[in-house]
Structure 1
Amino acid sequence: MKFLLPPRLAVCAITMAAMLAPVQATTSEAKARAYKIAKVLKDNGISFRNDYWHGLLKRKGSTTIKTTLKKDTQYILVGGGCNDAYDVDITVYDENWKQVGKDSKVDANPVVKVTPKWSGTFHVKVTMANSTSNGAHYALIVGYK
């Protein structure tokens, strides 16, 4: 016995599948941009954590990520935006929300260097400063030396 979807549901299923494919592609684009910079840094002795953060942000929207950073270790935070991202910014705050590093370039590949004076929880704010009206995807990776 064959099971056929009614035409209306078939169209809906095809539309949903088409909508989901670009989401993965744009996340992949953001990750690829960040890792392109990371590759150059790796060639210069920077190691990178295995994990990374990613997501979709509205234009002018932001998200904050908590991470542990160690005293006297140089960290390089590298971001990447998908093709819909025009300006992605990273700002790093210590546990007291005092700013300790910031990217100020107008581009989709923010890079921030920080060397904490103590070990603890730090807050990394990723802002989609400019993008298409639908927002854009970002990826964030953390390197250290």
Structure 2
Amino acid sequence: MKSVKISAVLLKMAFSLCILLAAVGVYSQKALQPYDDWTIQVLNQLRIYEERLELTSQSHEFVTGRLDNEGTEWVNIELPAGYTYHILGVCDHDCFDLDLELHTTDNVMLSSDVETDDYPLVSVTPAERTIYRVKVIMANCSSEPCRYGLGIYRSE
């Protein structure tokens, strides 16, 4: 009788464990949706250029998006005071020129990088916690849409 009770308890525990593992598996699949090839290119480009430019303190999650040739998009970024921040832009292999402009919320341009390249960099040192607007400009995209990415880095 005792072994039947233990077997029933073990069976219930095993069943509960299977349900829990199934739930975790479903959650993990949703949380880890695969990136498309172009977004992966952009994330790899961010890592390559942050190393080349010696940007070592990533302060925010990467921002990614897609734009057609000559398209623009605004991205709001909140930055605390006390540090200089560098905002790096990159784009996929179908993009040959990406530009960035850094604006206040009143649309005053503080900095821009409109060189003919695919890794613009703008910087700012906020005096107080501030929201900035970054204008992303897809200046030359050969196969629309092109993906872009932004990395935000703090220097001490």
For the pair shown, the structure with the greater C-alpha radius of gyration is: 2
Q: Cα RMSD over matched residues?
A: 1.9
Q: For residue 51 of structure 2, give the secondary structure of its aligned residue in structure 1.
A: helix
Rounded Cα–Cα distance in structure 1 between residues aligned with 2:120 and 2:101: 10
In structure 2, give the amino acid aligned to 1:31: L
Rounded Cα–Cα distance in structure 2 between residues aligned with 1:104 and 1:33: 18
Rounded Cα–Cα distance in structure 2 between residues aligned with 1:118 and 1:92: 16
Rounded Cα–Cα distance in structure 1 between residues aligned with 2:143 and 2:60: 32
- TM-score with structure 1 setting the length: 0.76
Rounded Cα–Cα distance in structure 2 between residues aligned with 1:129 and 1:118: 32
How far is 1:50 from its partner? 4.7
Gaps of 5+ in 1: 1-20
**Where in structure 1 do 4 or more consecutive aligned residues deviate above 3 Å?**
none
> Which of 100, 105, 110 pairs up with 1:90?
100
Matching residue of 1:38: 50
In structure 1, give the amino acid aligned to 2:48: K
How far is 1:72 from its partner? 3.9
Contact 2:59 2:152 (C-alpha < 8 Å) held by counterparts: yes
Render the CA deviation track for 1:81-130: whole Å, top value 9, x for unaligned. 10000100111111211111111211111111222233211101111011
Within 5 A, what are the aligned runs for 1:7-22? Answer: none
- TM-score with structure 2 setting the length: 0.71
Rounded Cα–Cα distance in structure 1 between residues aligned with 2:141 and 2:122: 20
How far is 1:69 from its partner? 1.4
Gaps of 5+ in 2: 1-33
Q: 1:72 to 1:92 in 2, by over 3 A?
A: same
Contact 2:98 2:114 (C-alpha < 8 Å) held by counterparts: no
